[in-house]
Amino acid sequence: MVSKESCRNEIRAAIRQLSDRCLYSAAKWAGEQLVGIEQDPSNFTPSNTRFQRGSSSIRRRFSTISTPQPSAGFSQPPATPLPQEEDEVIDGDLYLLAKSYFDCREYRRASHVLRDQMSNKSLFLRCYALYLAGEKRKEEEMIELEGPLGKSDAINRELVSLERELSALKRTGAIDSFGLYLYGVVLKEKGNESLARASLVESVNSYPWNWSAWSELQSLCTSIEILNSLNLNSHWMKEFFLGSAYQELRMHSESLAKYEYLQGIFSFSNYIQAQTAKAQYSLREFDQVEIMFEDLLRNDPYRVEDMDLYSNVLYAKEACAALSYLAHKVFLTDKYRPESCCIVGNYYSLKGQHEKAVMYFRRALKLNKKYLSVQNLLASEVQKHSSRKLALQKQQLLVIFLSQPSIKILSASHEFFKHVFSLSNFKIWLGWGARCFRDLFHTTTT
């Protein structure tokens, strides 16, 4: 039986460990689950209450289990004890410096500082920084070399050496859970899905609190057979994984059941609420979904992720005022995110301003080429309104589609930035930066 307090302590320690390794996206996910755990009434402080209030009624309202067990916890084996941090006295100072370079996004410098350090922690940060330096370069090249077909063959040039080093360490067993996670990411990018899965399974079995590792693993579970074949240890993090994996495999009832179960402890998790809303959306329960998103936005008013889905619902329901409010809100929060552009596109589409709608959907696609749902929206928008100009854009859209070698490969890279890379907006800035640099080349040389 895992108690709330035990979950809380596990997550607190995990956040420190993940942040220490610059796995910020995983730390953020963990942080959201941490504050999603219902407080014991005895520990309520006014501020904690305020943070969690508001949502409970809604969450209970859509609970399909009539009597949730708020404090019972999970009936599963005791949680894996949190691994002890190694003694890092010797290379501690260099690690502090490397991490500070990493935090200032100087990846090669971070990696260089740790070149002679032998601890697992240093090894991970050195390799991870090198990997990100390679990704950064790859993204720059992709955009600089982007031809009329909108793609390029840019690759992360660090992958070969990283695979060589990590596989050698794996053979000798001198690799920890974080190294195994990175090895899995590298293998996946090299196209070795089966070995990647094995490495990621080993990583989550030895350290289940790294959501980025679970996300990578999920992206490699493209069928229920693959999912069932994984040999995963029991842990409450596995339930989160299954909830998400089932959803991707469109097994919405199974997914909802997992989330219902998890709400026994994580009653106030915004993540679970958004995931539940997504499943309900797929089941076309638009009224429920709308209420859930309203609630989510009340609790987390500067949230942008998943709000594109909410805008789809408002569009379908022709809720113009609410859609206008949402568009305004996300535009102020961060207008350079693809979700924001999608929401604004939906708003203009509903207002009948189709050229503007197409413009914003195209922007969303420029910001994130793997934004599948926006590709559909754009296609539909173009189809609906086939003026001469829009017909041209339809043609352009077709080119975008045809030029994508494989949605799966691209989507893998997207997942990397979303879940692994830890800096959710990085790619957008990077994309804009490089694209603009190319434009600058163009305007200053012509």
Interacting residues toward a second copy by CB under 8 A:
8, 12, 15, 19, 24-25, 27-28, 30-32, 34-35, 45-48, 50-51, 90-94, 96-97, 99-101, 103-106, 108-109, 112-113, 116-118, 140, 300-303, 333-336, 359, 362-363, 366, 422-425, 428-430, 432-437, 439-440, 444-445
Residue 296 Cα to chain centre, angstroms: 18
Cβ closest to a second copy, residue 113 vs residue 277: 113
Token pair of 167 as six digits? 């596989």
CB of 117 to a second copy, least distance (A): 6
Cβ closest to a second copy, residue 286 vs residue 331: 331
CB of 230 to a second copy, least distance (A): 28
Cβ closest to a second copy, residue 47 vs residue 406: 47
- A 10 A CB-CB count for 386 gives 12
Cβ closest to a second copy, residue 207 vs residue 246: 207
φ, ψ at 74 (rounded to 5°): -100, 140
CB of 40 to a second copy, least distance (A): 13
CB of 360 to a second copy, least distance (A): 9
CB of 3 to a second copy, least distance (A): 16
Q: How far apart are CA 272 and CA 240, in angstroms?
A: 9
> Is the Cβ–Cβ distance between 113 and 138 less than 8 Å?
no
CB of 406 to a second copy, least distance (A): 26
Report CA-CA distances (Å) from 277 to 54, 290, 441: 17, 8, 45
* Nearest C-alpha neighbor of 169 from the set 157, 155, 181: 181
Token pair of 356 as six digits? 């503007």
Cβ closest to a second copy, residue 30 vs residue 187: 30
CB of 252 to a second copy, least distance (A): 28
Cβ closest to a second copy, residue 181 vs residue 417: 417
CB of 34 to a second copy, least distance (A): 5
CB of 440 to a second copy, least distance (A): 6
Cβ closest to a second copy, residue 213 vs residue 245: 213
175-178 contacts at long range (C-beta below 8 A, 24 or more positions apart): 175/120, 175/123, 176/120, 176/121, 176/124, 176/206, 176/207, 177/83, 177/202, 177/203, 177/204, 177/206, 177/207, 177/210, 177/213, 178/21, 178/23, 178/120, 178/121, 178/124, 178/128, 178/203, 178/207, 178/210
Tokens 């910020």 belong to residue: 24
Cβ closest to a second copy, residue 14 vs residue 279: 14
Q: In terms of C-beta density within 10 A (0-12 exposed, 13-18 middle, 19 or more buried), how is residue 442 classed?
A: exposed
DSSP 156: -
Strand partners, 74: 2
> Is the Cβ–Cβ distance between 220 and 195 less than 8 Å?
no
CB of 382 to a second copy, least distance (A): 14
Cβ closest to a second copy, residue 52 vs residue 199: 52
Q: How far apart are CA 299 and CA 411, in angstroms?
A: 30
Cβ closest to a second copy, residue 4 vs residue 197: 4
Cβ closest to a second copy, residue 241 vs residue 361: 361
Q: How far apart are CA 299 and CA 20, in angstroms?
A: 28
- A 10 A CB-CB count for 142 gives 21
Q: How far apart are CA 218 and CA 241, in angstroms?
A: 7
Q: How far apart are CA 59 and CA 69, in angstroms?
A: 14
Cβ closest to a second copy, residue 112 vs residue 170: 112
* Nearest C-alpha neighbor of 263 from the set 55, 79, 418, 80: 55
CB of 64 to a second copy, least distance (A): 28
CB of 259 to a second copy, least distance (A): 20
Q: How far apart are CA 198 and CA 212, in angstroms?
A: 15
The sign of the torsion formed by the CA atoms of 319, 322, 326, 328 equals positive
